[in-house]
Structure 1
């Protein structure tokens, strides 16, 4: 993202208003009712300004455990829930609890660049797992990549950057594969509240021993617009939380109490509002699908759609980074090239762009596709 905003700073102004479809987070602040609740906490609740335990306030952990159990089925306790300073920190803390320099983690490509960057910083080797044309990872190929140094497979559903929603049977297959090899399955469901299908996304939590294999990541930032308050969650075994707490205690100590209390308010008081948010995002997703024929005639293809994202295959002979710069400089569209989500030299990444459509209303999406239809390179 830093590189993309450098492009933005360097671009020559033109008459077109900027269409920013690069940001993978809500542009609006939390809803008014939540902001009023937070304002009251700031003024009246002294505990909102003090440390909590490393893994956060017990009532919030209990509420998330209950929400998770209701959604997925199975048993989840507060002792299996840790609150973190954003979902990125949940991933970092999980990795810190079991991976050492020289260990390997399998990441499907395209990958989420923050996951890849932290592996690099931790000295953990990234092992790319190529996705097929449907942007889903293949179980048999994943199995072929497991070595004595493999510690985990990381999956994101709905995916960032592709938007792909992983089927329940595929997730169960990866769980079984990880269990058979004694490794972890890290499943990041940051965008799970915007899935296109209702009901449980999978049945991994119905496994009585789910926490022996599954490490589940969640974010309140996307669901309740709490991005600046950095509140995420890590669901795993109590023993793993105990190990990961050593890392947490040396960095942020705990998530901000105000963010935690806002998350609790969201979980207990804002289910109807969240249902409305889901409907809004799904309506925008449908608009993207409806508008795609306008650019398919120009050679564009929709490789993935879901969550906050459309993953577009561009029709040009040049690489995605060059296309993205041209879109910004000439058409005032800020999006991210697929090359940001893949190892250097990845041929597929050179042909793709990530478009984060979730913050664009119907008029903005119409404008976006009109501009894309005019692109020539």
Structure 2
């Protein structure tokens, strides 16, 4: 039998299916299964969104190939939207539409780094970013983020980790898996460090629409002179519009970077799904109030989880924000995968082991609390209180 690509073969299987398998073994004795695993919206798409998707999907106008960089209307509408969000001046030439934010990261990483180069990441890290780089033959280096610092990176440690072979720093804010939200001042300091060191800053802002306070720009980086030479920002329409199955994301970058990304996208997919692009272009201004209501709902779910965790003695909520909470389990010396598997099988709670986000995260579990409504989150207290490892 011919050999497989060793860069792919050495990777572990995708983690989410294995976690779902644990949940399927649950016998229902504690009540309905509580799914806090994969980050999916815990409520349906708006009826107008579904109507638009149906109309565009049934139109022959979107059955052929489209522009590699994305539909002109969506690029324009999203540029206007992002300009308002960040208080900056962004144009269509700064936008490239992708098939989801994971693909946006693939494109961004391939644009700035190649085999043998290094991309710096924070730990805990988003596992798909790490495996993407591994498949590409790009090395990774990590800067540990401590719970006592809110899982935010330390500038001194970041600077020390930027060695000559580092081509980019990849960050996620609001963070996956911890939920930590990077303050604008910290992001600006990191941006300036990257610019000084001559490396790219790849900033994944998938969960930008679920900040705890509305109307505040996540950062001011797009207003800084020469931002185009340092920053590549990533975004996902999936969570905000509840359409993860339609795979739609966006990259905001300088026009020169967009030109390079188009070369990659042409080989990966040619163009992102066209019907979904047309539907989102129409929905972006129409559903602003609905999306704000969802932001508030996610905030209520975060508050519900905080309340649950305050009532528990041994389980600790070390970080929470946007979609995620990073929860320290009470079983010292026991691997996070073992704890998560037993939680799923015996208590009917599906979550992601901390070890999937870095070897140093064995004491943690990731709860994707946005998946569950407030009453469901309230049921966690009794189940966690009465959970013991067998």
Q: Where on the TM-score scale, by shorter chain, does this alignment land: which range?
A: over 0.9
CA shift for structure 1 position 49: 1.9
In the alignment, the residues of structure 2 paired with residue 241 and residue 166 of structure 1 have an alpha-carbon distance, to the nearest angstrom, of 25
In the alignment, the residues of structure 2 paired with residue 30 and residue 51 of structure 1 have an alpha-carbon distance, to the nearest angstrom, of 26
CA shift for structure 1 position 240: 1.3
CA shift for structure 1 position 41: 2.2
Q: Paired residue for 2:90, among 49, 62, 76?
A: 76
Partner of 1:165: 181
In the alignment, the residues of structure 2 paired with residue 189 and residue 237 of structure 1 have an alpha-carbon distance, to the nearest angstrom, of 17
**Tell me, what secondary structure is at the counterpart of 1:218?**
strand
Structure 2 alignment gaps of length 5 or more: 1-15
Q: Is the 8 A contact 1:337 1:352 kept in 2?
A: yes
Q: Is the 8 A contact 2:100 2:238 kept in 1?
A: yes
TM-score normalised to structure 1 length? 0.95
Q: Paired residue for 2:329, among 314, 318, 324?
A: 314
The reply to whether residue 374 of structure 1 matches residue 390 of structure 2 is: no
Write out per-residue CA displacement over residues 145-194 of structure 1, whole angstroms, 9 at most, x where no aligned residue: 11111011111111000000101111001100100011000111100110
The reply to whether residue 224 of structure 1 matches residue 241 of structure 2 is: yes
In the alignment, the residues of structure 1 paired with residue 57 and residue 18 of structure 2 have an alpha-carbon distance, to the nearest angstrom, of 36
> What does 1:128-167 align with in structure 2 at a 5 Å threshold?
128-133=142-147, 134-167=150-183
CA RMSD of superposed structures (Å): 1.2
The reply to whether residue 186 of structure 1 matches residue 198 of structure 2 is: no
TM-score normalised to structure 2 length? 0.92
CA shift for structure 1 position 5: 2.4
The reply to whether residue 47 of structure 1 matches residue 61 of structure 2 is: yes
CA shift for structure 1 position 326: 1.0
Write out per-residue CA displacement over residues 220-272 of structure 1, whole angstroms, 9 at most, x where no aligned residue: 00000110111000111111111121211112111101111122122121111
Partner of 1:19: 34
Q: Is the 8 A contact 2:86 2:217 kept in 1?
A: yes
Q: Aligned residue pairs: how many?
A: 369
Partner of 1:300: 315
Q: Is the 8 A contact 2:265 2:271 kept in 1?
A: yes
The reply to whether residue 113 of structure 1 matches residue 127 of structure 2 is: yes
Write out per-residue CA displacement over residues 300-342 of structure 1, whole angstroms, 9 at most, x where no aligned residue: 1111101111110111121211110110111011101100011
The reply to whether residue 284 of structure 1 matches residue 301 of structure 2 is: yes
Structure 1 alignment gaps of length 5 or more: none
